[in-house]
Amino acid sequence: MITVYLAEISDLFEQKNFENIIKTNNLDNEIGKSTKHNIHHVGGILLRNYMLREIGIAEKNMIFDINQNGKPYLKSNPDIKFSISHSENYVMCGISDFEIGVDIEIIRPNKDNNSNLIKISERWFGNGEKKSLLKSNDIQKEFYRLWTRKESLFKLGIYAKNAPSNTYDSIISNYYFYEFQIMDNIGNNYSAAVCIMMPNSKIHSDININIKKIELNHIV
């Protein structure tokens, strides 16, 4: 079971909608003003809880904690693994029997002929990633593909974000990555990635990832 849920949450950016939703879902004490951070946080909670209800977890059993790597987990059922990400108008949640990390990033307009992206890659990318970026015919698209792939590995909660970049190339073969792009209702493009840590007996051809796009009114 590996399922990725996506919800477009642009309606939450309207103050009235945001206030109504946090009251309806009893989030008043947890959430403050409708800042972008809080809107993403609310969207993540709503989609996460919807995702867990989909697999039969009752609200009363949605008890969460943080593991030693700082990743949230379902304390009442730790065998269920999940991960949450958000960017601009999208929230993304993944759920799996295996350790999972997900990431989504809006592909921002290119204003400097990719020089800033290349500068970021020099600091954070491994040698293999740098080579893949520089030989690409579309540096912007390739940068975001590699970036979300790397972030999804971080969000797995095992590989440290501050680990030396030259160690990344040597470990990625131990993980399964699934990458895709999606567009929101106003035409913004997003790059997204899923990272799965599988038992050694599992081969990549056996992996099936189900992508579900959920309307906001279904999760509130």
Query: Per-residue pLDDT tens for 68-116?
Result: 888 899 999 999 999 999 999 999 999 999 899 999 999 988 878 889 9
Q: Which of 144, 36, 132 is nearest to 91 (CA)?
A: 36
Q: 3-state class of 29 per DSSP? A: coil
CATH code of the domain occupying 2-219:
3.90.470.20
- Sheet of 175-183: strand order equals 99-106, 189-197, 175-183
For residues 142 and 96, give the distance between their C-alpha atoms in angstroms, rounded to a whole number: 27
pTM of the model: 0.90
| Averaged pLDDT in 10-residue chunks for the chain of 220 residues | 92 82 74 76 93 94 89 93 96 94 93 88 90 94 95 82 64 86 93 85 69 90
